[in-house]
Amino acid sequence: MEKISIIDAKNYVNEKVKIGVWLTNKRSSGKIAFLQLRDGSAFFQGVVVKSNVSEETFKLAKEVKQEASLYVVGTIHEDSRSHFGYEIEIEEIEIVGESENYPITPKEHGTDFLMDHRHLWLRSKRQYAIMQIRNEMIRATYEFFNKEGFIKFDAPILTGSAPEGTTELFHTEYFDKDAYLSQSGQLYEEAGAMAYGKVFSFGPTFRAEKSKTRRHLIEFWMIEPEMAFMHQEESLEIQERYIAFLVQGVLDNCDYALTILERDKDVLKKYTKLPFPRISYDEAIKILQDSKEFPNITWGEDFGSPEETYLANQFEQPVFVLNYPKAIKPFYMKPHPTRDDVVICADLLAPEGYGEIIGGSERAVDPEYLEKQIQKAGLDSKEYQWYLDLRRYGSVPHAGFGLGLERAVTWITGESHIREAIPFPRLLNRIYP
Ligand code: ATP
Ligand code: MG
Ligand code: MG
Ligand code: MG
């Protein structure tokens, strides 16, 4: 008899197997008990028929508590009524670990209660589905960038200088010096691109976001590709191919998770159609000014969530907004060749109200221009000499972008809040558990 995972049940129909599981829920009558089981790989039902098992086994089935861990031995059957398609007819039960009264019961709980019990909440079905999709997106990310000839090139988490303004920075001590937790690995990725051509980093980034929104975490994971000998238009093509690849990966490999989340697959399929529409910042301003909601927006303003949501709602696919005003973008973006007031950049806005999922740009290559921009931004140019070296020794056109993993997971899973897109979310006022 083989010890298997629930997810492999389809290969063992009518066979006797052993599975290590936890009990998530149960109901029973005098003659039959239905045990809802999970093992991490999937969820399914175990059926215990009194007349087919020992008295002791049926008693165990009736008395076992929620989240107790068990070994069950039984025969796999098809079960067309369930999401999963299979169930196990249990013959023997062995208790591995008893459970106390489990705090998360099948009734509804408030968000604060669930967040306080995040370490247990992760065991529930929806959380399982979200983590499966997150995992698939990470897997597909590696596959995509490997296939496209990128190497993974990780940026440091501890940095010695404060890149983009100081309000969102976490400060720490580095022996007798100051250090900051990384807000973005981009500048280091540029060094990587000059060394190895096409690189990407994937790691945690930290921002002391002082406001509560559904889209911002304090600690989130960012994927940051950077490409040498590449202009912005080619970068946009990589970005849209990457997004389509992520969505296709989820459609191909996460059918069960999407079903649990009741995510509409036809909606997701639209996000695999390329190209994505492109509008300029100027056009975006015009669209907003012509709307009922934002008639008073003026050229030069940055977009917040409501503006991004309105703009994205005009399209069925994600939309690129190109060339924002120079004044609201970081110092390293390439100035427009014929216009003084905008830079060569793009934000990719997701439909369905999820806002910016990618921010990217072509990078400025002229060291004198950059040095001036660094000073204008109030940064200490001594700390950026290494960065300016990248322009002094064989500078080339290059571009890159950053995608927030959890932002994208929230969108693709159709969840309403980013806190469920990461195992242990760090939020304003929450660092427990
Ligand atoms: P936003 O406008 O939403 O605050 P941003 O422009 O500050 O985002 P970038 O610096 O461009 O963000 O970072 C690149 C990507 O990282 C964003 O497009 C988004 O997907 C993600 N991101 C940024 N901030 C957060 C955050 N606090 N939590 C989760 N993801 C984030
Ligand atoms: Mg921000
Ligand atoms: Mg933004
Ligand atoms: Mg951005």
Q: In this model, does residue 165 exceed pLDDT 70? A: no
Give me the interface pTM, i.e. the ipTM. Answer: 0.99
Give long-range contacts, CB 8 A cutoff, 24+ apart: 332-341: 332/186, 332/187, 332/190, 332/361, 332/363, 332/364, 332/370, 332/373, 333/361, 333/362, 333/363, 333/364, 334/232, 334/361, 334/362, 334/363, 334/364, 334/365, 335/364, 335/369
- pLDDT tens digit sequence for 80-124: 988 899 999 999 999 999 999 999 998 899 999 999 999 999 999
Ligand 1 pocket: which of 215, 219, 405, 409 to mutate (most atoms <8 Å of CB)?
215
Nearest alpha carbon, ligand 1 atom 10: 359
| Average pLDDT of the chain, as a whole number | 96
Find, among 121, 125, 123, 138, the residue nearest to 84 by Cα.
125
Q: How far is the CA of 409 from the centre of ligand 3 (A)?
A: 17
Nearest alpha carbon, ligand 1 atom 7: 359
- pLDDT tens digit sequence for 322-360: 999 999 999 999 999 999 999 999 999 999 999 999 999
Nearest alpha carbon, ligand 1 atom 12: 359
Contact yes or no for 373/332 (Cβ under 8 A): yes
Q: How far is the CA of 135 from the centre of ligand 1 (A)?
A: 20
Nearest alpha carbon, ligand 1 atom 2: 356
pTM of the model: 0.97
User: What's the pLDDT at 38?
Assistant: 98
Find, among 223, 232, 164, 226, the residue nearest to 191 by Cα.
226
pLDDT band at 163 (very low <50, low <70, confident <90, very high): low
User: What's the pLDDT at 161?
Assistant: 79
- pLDDT tens digit sequence for 30-86: 999 999 999 999 999 999 999 999 999 999 999 999 999 999 999 999 999 888 999
At a CB cut-off of 8 Å and minimum separation 6, what does 328 contact? 300, 301, 302
**Which range has the worst mean pLDDT, 208-212, 271-275, 406-410?**
208-212
pLDDT band at 164 (very low <50, low <70, confident <90, very high): low
Q: How many CA atoms lie within 13 A of 40 on its CB side?
A: 6
User: What's the pLDDT at 159?
Assistant: 93
The token duo for 353 is 């109200």
Q: In this model, does residue 390 exceed pLDDT 90? A: yes
Contact yes or no for 288/299 (Cβ under 8 A): no
- Could you give the 3-state DSSP secondary structure of residue 262? coil
Q: How far is the CA of 399 from the centre of ligand 4 (A)?
A: 14
Of ligand 1's atoms, which has the minimum distance to the CA of residue 401?
14
- For ligand 1, residues with CB inside 6 Å are 184, 207, 209, 215-217, 220, 222, 355-359, 402-404, 406-407
User: What's the pLDDT at 83?
Assistant: 82
Q: How far is the CA of 376 from the centre of ligand 1 (A)?
A: 23
The token duo for 405 is 């993993």
Q: What angle do CA 185, 188, 191 make, to 5 degrees?
A: 150
Nearest alpha carbon, ligand 1 atom 21: 404
